[in-house]
Amino acid sequence: MALLQIAEPGQSAAPHQHKLAVGIDLGTTNSLVATVRSGSAKVLPDANGNLLVPSVVRYQADAVTVGLEAAVHRISDSHNTITSVKRLLGKKLADVDQSHLPYRFAEQDSPLIETVAGPVNPIQVSAEILKSLAARASESLQSEPDGVVITVPAYFDDAQRQGTKDAAQLAGLHVLRLLNEPTAAAIAYGLDSGDEGVIAVYDLGGGTFDISILRLSKGVFEVLATGGDSALGGDDFDAAIVGWLQQQAGISDLADSQLVRQLYSLATAAKVALSDSESTEIVLDSHGYQWRGELSRSQFDELVAPLVQRSIRACRRALRDAGITQEEVGEVVMVGGSTRVPKVREDVASFFGQQPLTSIDPDQVVAIGAALQADILVGNKKDGELLLLDVTPLSLGIETMGGLVEKVIPRNTTIPVARAQEFTTFKDGQTAMAIHVLQGERELVDDCRSLARFTLRDIPPLAAGAAHIRVTFQVDADGLLSVTAMEKETGAQASVQVKPSYGLEDDEVTRMLKDSITHAKDDVSMRMLREQQVEASRFIENMTAALDADGETLLAADERALIEQAMQALANVAANDDVAAIEQAIKTLDQQSQEFAARRMDNSIKQALKGQSVEGL
């Protein structure tokens, strides 16, 4: 635990140490894991040389399998073999279109899938995929990774981001950052070419579509705008073909889940074939249906045209939000397997008036970008080489009178961000106020996504409009939101870390973590003790250095004494094996030194631009 190590140029805070960091692309259809070795990022293959891990998890009574091994059972054991779970992550059951899905859902607010191994939720399923990817990395690197960067669609809302983070925690991974997929792709291309200018990233994956407009300037990637559709992807192309097949073959009933899977397999195969050829033959022979026919490229183009147009509309909107015209876009980057569809490439090229870049494999580019960012975040690269400034994908607001939403943070605001807005009471003597937090672009509460509700109490009873309540929204660098409400007179306060009800509660994650490691209990407590001791000694070491550097100028004698006292207390307990006591002492020192840390930071901000000429910026 270091205290504000603001290293001066040429004066490294710690001896250089290479750390292992991996980037994970947790995809709807396929997932990948990549790492940086000897300066370049590579996707890690399995023993057979496969780079892609199908995002498929199969539950059996006594085993869980992930990837190719699970994928072969997607038709024969469709109830227990879960595909495209990313589409369910962070969703309420009511939000899920169940008509295409072969699973049996339990009666629950969050989608809980019944399997032979018992009910599982999308977070647990995602955690299984992450574990399998982490295992691949550990095997390949001969060591546990120090940290991971996991990519999410830029258009993921708060619940979906939180769900991804919970899954990582459940898989026992240290998440350095959630990174937006298009941003990751831009990093992969941007660091590659070193060009400056505006980049548009068009990312059409299996289940989601994202468009991001970024500007790369002097090592800073600034996301200007992002947009998309969290329910548009290659799966919809498949569904369009399935609809056509159903019509052609005269299938009226889609209740048979194995038949549905069969139709989807045929559709996917036809779609892939049509990327390289002008037409493809489809043969259906199962479950009493026999049909044989041709699907041509132009028929297929017609089927998917409305879907592709939807994506182009989102591109237009994102450009407008960014304040950029088509002509100003220097490069267009294609990401996601679905950008192999020729119709997609044609329409994107015609909209932007230039051929899109496809030199990095569209399946791998996101994982590669994530690995590059992870490498920077663990500190393997020198300071200042790259900085990423991302934005909020959707507006955040609060419910006001009449079921309307008042926006507090508009979409495409650079994060981290903190914004406050004042509200007043509307009844005489009102002592409580319900705060309803929403996400979305629409004006009516019913059209937006509800993120959280909480109540501020102990408002002094005053005339209507006399009490002033300040509501502060804060979005961190991962894009996660917390909200605080405070009455200004009395300082009465209430806050919420937005944890959507269909995600997992913190203690639930802890419980599931414990369940998964009970067999190794002693091991775990030993490891926790070691970790806390290391933490304690690092904290003391850094604190000593900070006091030596700035203690004299920034602290009064009594303030310094309090910090030194807390340091001594920590040093004393760290020698023993009481984990809780060490944790407590770290917390105390943390509290005692908070003000000092803030002063050091402000001091260095003041110095940051001193003596710099305009040209040097």
* Catalytic residue numbers, as ranges: 25, 86, 181, 203
- For the window 467-496, what string marks contact with another protein as x by the rule CB under 8 A? -------x-xx-------------------
**Which amino acid is located at 547 in the chain?**
L
* Of 107 and 385, CB closest to another protein: 385
Q: In the window 32-61, what residues touch another protein (CB under 8 A)? A: none
- Binding of another protein at residue 378 (CB under 8 A)? yes
- Binding of another protein at residue 16 (CB under 8 A)? no
Cβ 488 to another protein shortest distance, Å: 13
Choose one: 56-64, 156-164, 213-221, 553-561; the region binding another protein (CB under 8 A).
213-221
* Of 336 and 379, CB closest to another protein: 379
Instruction: Give the closest residue to 384 by CA, choosing from 1, 4, 9.
Output: 9
Which of 116, 387, 434, 534 is in the footprint of another protein by CB under 8 A? 387
Scored b (16 or more CB within 10 A) or e, 170-183 reads bbebebbbbbbbbb
Q: How many C-alpha atoms does 121 have within 13 Å on its Cβ side?
A: 23
Cβ 596 to another protein shortest distance, Å: 10
Length of the chain: 617
Cβ 540 to another protein shortest distance, Å: 12
- Binding of another protein at residue 613 (CB under 8 A)? no
- Binding of another protein at residue 598 (CB under 8 A)? yes
Instruction: Give the closest residue to 287 by CA, choosing from 258, 252, 313.
Output: 258
Cβ 275 to another protein shortest distance, Å: 29
Q: Which of the 8 DSSP states describes residue 391?
A: B
- For the window 397-436, what string marks contact with another protein as x by the rule CB under 8 A? ----------------xxxxxxx--x--------------
Which of 323, 384, 429, 465 is in the footprint of another protein by CB under 8 A? 384
* Of 476 and 531, CB closest to another protein: 476
**Which amino acid is located at 200 in the chain?**
A
Enumerate the β-bridge partners of residue 497. 482
Choose one: 43-51, 271-279, 502-510, 606-614; the region binding another protein (CB under 8 A).
606-614
Give φ, ψ of 309 to 5 degrees: -60, -35
Measured torsion, CA atoms of residues 244, 250, 254, 257, in degrees rounded to the nearest 10: -90
Helix (H) / strand (E) element for 448: namely: none
Could you tell me whether strands 481-487 and 468-475 are parallel, antiparallel, or unpaired per DSSP bridges? Answer: antiparallel
Cβ 365 to another protein shortest distance, Å: 21
**Contact call for residues 245 and 263 (beta carbons, < 8 A):** yes
Scored b (16 or more CB within 10 A) or e, 290-301 reads eeeeebebeebb
- Binding of another protein at residue 190 (CB under 8 A)? no
Token pair, residue 558, equals 């009594």
* Of 1 and 106, CB closest to another protein: 1
Scored b (16 or more CB within 10 A) or e, 314-338 reads bbeebbebbebeeeebebbbbbbbb
Cβ 176 to another protein shortest distance, Å: 5
Cβ 128 to another protein shortest distance, Å: 26
Cβ 614 to another protein shortest distance, Å: 5
Enumerate the β-bridge partners of residue 25. 32, 151
* Of 288 and 611, CB closest to another protein: 611
Q: In the window 294-323, what residues touch another protein (CB under 8 A)? A: 313, 316-317, 320
Q: In the window 143-172, what residues touch another protein (CB under 8 A)? A: 147
Choose one: 1-9, 106-114, 337-345, 351-359; the region binding another protein (CB under 8 A).
1-9
Q: Which of the 8 DSSP states describes residue 518?
A: G
- Binding of another protein at residue 528 (CB under 8 A)? no
- Binding of another protein at residue 610 (CB under 8 A)? yes
Spatial separation of the C-alpha atoms in residues 334 and 557, rounded to whole Å: 59
Three-class SS state of 368: helix
Token pair, residue 192, equals 């590659």
Which of 150, 365, 376, 566 is in the footprint of another protein by CB under 8 A? 376
Tell me the site size for another protein, rule CB under 8 A: 55
Token pair, residue 453, equals 């509700």
Beta strands in 254-340 (DSSP E): 279-286, 289-296, 329-335
Q: Which of the 8 DSSP states describes residue 30?
A: E
- Binding of another protein at residue 283 (CB under 8 A)? no
Sheet with 417-424: list strands edge to edge: 417-424, 468-475, 481-487, 493-497
Cβ 559 to another protein shortest distance, Å: 16
Q: Which residues bind another protein (CB under 8 A)?
A: 1-6, 147, 176-177, 217-220, 222, 313, 316-317, 320, 376-379, 383-384, 387-389, 413-419, 422, 474, 476-477, 539, 590, 593-594, 597-598, 601-602, 604-606, 608-610, 612, 614, 617
